[in-house]
Amino acid sequence: MLNKTTMMGRLTHDPELRRTQTDTPVCSFSIACERDFKNADGGRDTDFFDCVAWRQTAEFVSQYFTKGRMAIVEGRLQNREWTDKEGHKRRATELIVSNVYFGDSKPKEEGDGAPPAYAGTPMSIAGGGIPANFTPNFADFQEDGELPF
């Protein structure tokens, strides 16, 4: 069986970082994804998806993403069921995030503490990618524009 999803959209609100009773970080956020086709009115409909990230990925999202930022998220869809206060059974479908990438450039107002996000180049910390303290060393590049490898 295969349950893998990749979505690209803008965060609809700032991520909410919480911790479980065992101190495991968990972050909830939602993304808005525009459909690829136009509706009858000539506009594009938007779908909203709830996302949940755990551990390092949760901390990464809460630290570097804010409302309006474009995110590329990978993960699996999962149903969560519960009973509400009135005794009705409820169900929510969420994207359990395994990787998160920047989908846009770094906003100009961000300080020096955030990792760089270059236009058109997605970057990720989740899944063992780029370490949280990553800083590119441009001195490694030669003046003739060739890469050192």
Domain ranges of the chain: 5-35+45-109+118-127
Spatial distance between the Cα atoms of 80 and 122, rounded to a whole number of angstroms: 30
Query: Mean pLDDT for the chain?
Result: 81
Whether the Cβ atoms of residue 79 and residue 92 lie closer than 8 Å to each other: yes
Of residues 134 and 22, which shows the higher confidence score? 22
The structure's pTM equals 0.68
Task: Report pLDDT for 105.
Answer: 80
Spatial distance between the Cα atoms of 86 and 67, rounded to a whole number of angstroms: 32
Task: Report pLDDT for 116.
Answer: 47
Superfamily of domain 5-35+45-109+118-127: Nucleic acid-binding proteins (2.40.50.140)
Spatial distance between the Cα atoms of 73 and 95, rounded to a whole number of angstroms: 9
Mean pLDDT along residues 129-142: 48
Tens digits of residue pLDDT in 26-66? 999 999 999 988 989 999 999 999 999 999 999 999 999 99
Spatial distance between the Cα atoms of 59 and 55, rounded to a whole number of angstroms: 7
